[in-house]
Structure formats: C-alpha cells, structure tokens
Structure 1
Amino acid sequence: MSIYKRVLGKEFYHLHPMLQHKYELLSSGTFSGSGVMKKIKGGPKWLYPMFYLGAKWKLLFPESGENIPFTITNTSRCGENGERQVHWERIFYFKGKRRYFNALMSFDQSQNVIKDYLGEPPLFYSDLVLKIDEENRSLRIESKGQRLVFGKREISLPRFLQGLAVINESYSEEKGVFQITVGVKNPLVGWVFYYEGEFKQDELDEN
C-alpha cells in the first residue's frame, strides 16, 4: 500500500481514478510524466541569493518564465531504517539549464501525516496534510510545521520564517492530462515560489 493511500484511508477512493493510479503506483514502482509548466515565478529579487543557494540543493531557483518543459519522476524505495519512501524529482528545462524541485517523502503513522524532506541533501522539513475535494476528485496538499535541517539536527522555524506550500492536483478528462499548481508562501514576504501547468504519464504519450 502506498504511503499516500495509508494517510488518506478510505478517502483515497474519492480521488479521480487517474490520481488513484498515480499515487497507488508509488507503493512499489515508479511514475514518470512530462509536460509544460504554463507559468513559473519566484519572489522578490532581494531573495535571489537564497534562490541561487537553493538551486545547489535542488530546491528553489531564481528563474521564471512561461511554457517551460517539465518532467516528473516519482520513485518508491526503501530507506535505511526500512520505511517506505517516495523520491520526487521535478525538473524544469529552462534554456541552457535544468532546475530542480526535489523531495523525499515517507509516512508518519503516529501523526498520520506525510513527512517531507526538501532538497538534496535536505534543507527543510515539513509535515504534509492531504485533503480531497470530492466535487472534482482532486487532491490538495498543505505543508505544516516546517523545520530547518542541519544534517541529523532539525530546528523548528517560527511561522514568520516559514515558506509553506499548497499543492493542488487534478485530472482533466477533456484534455487527458494531470493539472498541477504549487505555491510557496511566506507570511511576511508573500509568494516565494509558484508554478502551474500540466503533464501526462509518459507511457500514455507513446500511443
């Protein structure tokens, strides 16, 4: 059973069948897709040094633009402690360079949340809360309780320093694509990072 199905329980079956397929596949396999991000934008320019630093950890980046090619690869694997993990590799293909927004997720049974380590090696940690919009069978993911990661140490961040994410993912039957919006917002600065677009599972593109 995938970590996402475990955290959602019976509500998992309220997702669109294609979203069920994507997240159930991550119980022991790999999901890969490709598409286009219609819009990518970052925060104010004075944050760019942080973005350049984040790019080295495959986390944030300073570039923005429209109609940027995109690939996603989600791979299920077993961690050193035996827990089931899912590695997220998201690549944005700007002209002459690749930028990443990577994460490693696992399931916290005691709190019934997804543990999300962002960056490689990880720089930030967040609890992820999953919710389902039953009207359009979409998935909403919200980050909570962010911490800064220093090797094996983690330091809780005050809310005014946190960049909390909201992800909305749905499936369009009319277009036959997954649709995604991701926004990271800070209480003081406002939007720090945002992208929206759509993609298809790679296997489906071959037919």
Structure 2
Amino acid sequence: MTIYTTLLGEKFQQLHPKLQHRYALPLDQEFFATGVMSQIKNGGRLLSPFYCLTSKANFLFPESGQEIPFSIANRCAMNQDGEVEVAWERTFHFQNAERKFNARMTVDLEKKLVKDFLGDIPFFYSDLHFDVTKEGFLIITSGVQKVMLGKAGFTLPKILRGRVTVLEGYDDQKDVYTIHVSIYNAVLGRVMMYAGEFKESVH
C-alpha cells in the first residue's frame, strides 16, 4: 500500500472506484492525465509580487483564464529519507505562458495527515487532511502551514494561512475526473481557484 491507501484505511474503499485507481498509485508507478480547466482565478493585483516569487518555484502563478488545457502527473517513489513520496506536477497551458504547480507529498501516520511540500524549491509546507464524502468524492483540507528555510519551519499564524479545499470526484456520465480547488485567505480573500475535468492518458 502507498501513502493514500495507508492514510485512509477502510475509508479508501468508499471512494469511487476510479478514484481508488487514481490514488492507489503503487511504488514506482505513474498516473498521467490531460484535461481542461473550465476556470482559473487568482487573487488579483495585490498579490502580484507574491505570484511572481512563487511562479519561479513552480508553485502559484499570476494568470487567470477559462478553458485552459492542462496535464497532471503523479509519480510514487522512495525519497532520499527512505519515505514513500508522491510527486505532483500540474501543468497549465495558457495562451502566453506555461505554468506549473508542483508538490511532493509524504504521510505522517502518527498525526494521520499528509505532509505537502509545495514548489520545486520547497519553501512552503502544509498539513493536508484527507477524507471521503458520502458520494465517494475525495475531500482534502489544509491545516498547519509553514514557511521553510532549509529543514527549519516557521509556523504561520492562522491569519496568514491559505485555507485550502480540494474536492475531486468522478462523473460517470461524462467518464471524466472532476476537480475543484480553492485557496482562500481570511484577510486577502481568494488566493487561487481552479475547476475542471480530466481523463487518464498515456504519457
């Protein structure tokens, strides 16, 4: 078993079968998919300096748009610390730019959460809590967040955190995965939102 099956335990079987396939992700295997984001929204000009910084690390980015083609790749492997790790690479193909939103995830079984290191230069960290809805969707919410300087982490106060909510499902009629991601700050409002559909494909 890998990190998501281990973390969710019996709840994993309550996921839609297609989500079970997507998140089982055995060691040294890859899940690749392509699709379209019907909508991508950022938080506006006030956050432009922040987006400029994070986009250089393949994290958040300043572009917004509709009907944006994208791809997603997940790879499961052992990292240098001997932990099972899942790499996430999301690529968004805007008309004038290609943006990536990358992350690496491991699991903390004691705390029953996923440890999410965001960007290619992992200067931002978030606890993630995984659960399953009665409809068989996967819902992910954020908890403690830190700014990382090397291996040292400085916990952000709640007022500075981006409250993350991810809802991933499967539409049997369309035969597509569905995704809705919201990152919201109590003071600044929306930091980023995107929603769309995708299908598994061969890389």
Please indicate the TM-score interval, normalised by the length of the shorter structure.
over 0.9
Does the CA contact (< 8 Å) of 1:178 and 1:198 recur in 2?
Answer: yes
Which structure 2 segments of 5+ residues have no match? Answer: none
For residue 150 of structure 1, report the CA deviation from its aligned partner: 1.1
Q: Distance in 2 between matches of 1:77 and 1:95?
A: 33
- Distance in 1, matches of 2:10 and 2:97, equals 42
Residues 51-106 of structure 1: per-residue CA shift (max 9 Å, x gap): 01110010011000000000000001111111000000000001132111111000
> Segments of 4+ in structure 1 off by > 4 A?
none
Matches within 5 A, 1:43-122: 43-122=43-122
- How far apart are 1:190 and its partner, in Å? 1.1
Match of 2:193 in 1: 194
Tell me how far apart the structure 2 counterparts of residues 12 and 185 of structure 1 sit (CA, whole Å). Answer: 27
RMSD: 1.2
* Equivalent residue letter for 1:120: D
Inter-CA distance 26–186: structure 2 relative to 1 (3 Å threshold): farther
CA distance in 2, matches of 1:189, 1:39: 20
Aligned residue number for residue 125 of structure 1: 125
Residue-by-residue CA offset, 1:101-150 (whole Å, 9 max, x unaligned): 1110001111111100011111211111011112x210000010000011
The corresponding residue for 1:163 is 162
Tell me the SS of whatever aligns to 1:110: coil
Which TM-score applies when normalising by structure 1?
A: 0.95
Q: Which residue of structure 2 lines up, in the alignment, with residue 143 of structure 1?
A: 142
Task: Count how many residue pairs are aligned between Structure 1 and Structure 2.
Answer: 203
The Cα offsets for residues 131-185 of structure 1, whole Å up to 9 and x where unpaired, read as 1112x21000001000001112110000111112110000001001000001101
- Secondary structure (helix, strand or coil) at the match of 1:140 reads strand
Instruction: Work out whether 1:3 is the aligned partner of 2:10.
Output: no
SS at the partner of 1:68?
Answer: strand
The alpha-carbon deviation at position 26 of structure 1 amounts to: 4.3
| Residues 14-25 of structure 1 aligned to structure 2 (within 5 Å) | 14-25=14-25
